[in-house]
Amino acid sequence: MYATYENGRIVIYDAYLYREVIKEIQERYWDPVRKVWIVPFNAESVSTLRIIGCEFKGVLIDMVSSLIENNDKLELPVEAIEPMPIKVKPYQHQVQAYNFIGNLLGFFTAGGST
C-alpha cells in the first residue's frame, strides 16, 4: 500500500487489506474509477496511515516529514471539560476518556460537549 498527494488530499493505492481501517477515517471516499481511497491531508489521516504501514511517495514524503519535524503533534491536545479529581497531570488518553465518560453519563452539565 502506498499514498500520494493530489489536490490537497491523500490518495491511497493498493489498500484492499486495510479498507476497514481506512473506512474509519473521517471524510474519506472511494473512487471507483481509479480504485483508490481518497482521504483529507490532516494529522489524523497521516497518523492512521503511518500506523498501518503506508508508504508515502512523491511530495507527500516531504509534507509528512515537515509535519513531524515542526513538532506538530499528530493528535490534538485535549483539555478536560471539568477539572479532574486527581493530583497528577493526566495523559492525553486519560483526559479523552474522562471527557467521553462524563458526557456519556451526563456528569457535565455546564461544560461544552465534544
Residue 73 to residues 67, 68, 81, 85, 92, Cα–Cα distance (Å): 8, 7, 21, 26, 12
Residue 83 has pLDDT above 60, yes or no: yes
Examine the domain organization and report whether 9 and 64 are in the same domain: yes
Q: Kindly list the distances between the CA atom of residue 57 and the CA atoms of 33, 62, 89, 98, in Å, as whole numbers in the listed order.
A: 21, 9, 39, 38
| Together in a domain, 65 and 97 | no
Question: How crowded is the C-beta side of 30, counted as CA atoms within 13 Å?
Answer: 11
Average pLDDT over the chain, rounded to whole? 86
- Tell me, what's the pLDDT at 72? 52
The pLDDT of residue 77: 63
pLDDT at 75: 56
- Sorting pLDDT into bands at 50, 70 and 90, what band is 100? confident
Q: Domain tally for the chain?
A: 2
Same domain, 7 and 44: yes
- Mean pLDDT of the 98-111 span: 80
Confidence (pTM): 0.61
Average pLDDT in the 32-55 region?
91
pLDDT at residue number 112 = 52
> What is residue 49's predicted lDDT score, i.e. its pLDDT?
93
Domain membership of residue 32 as a residue range: 2-69
Q: Assess whether 32 and 63 both reside in one domain.
A: yes
pLDDT (mean) for 90-108: 86
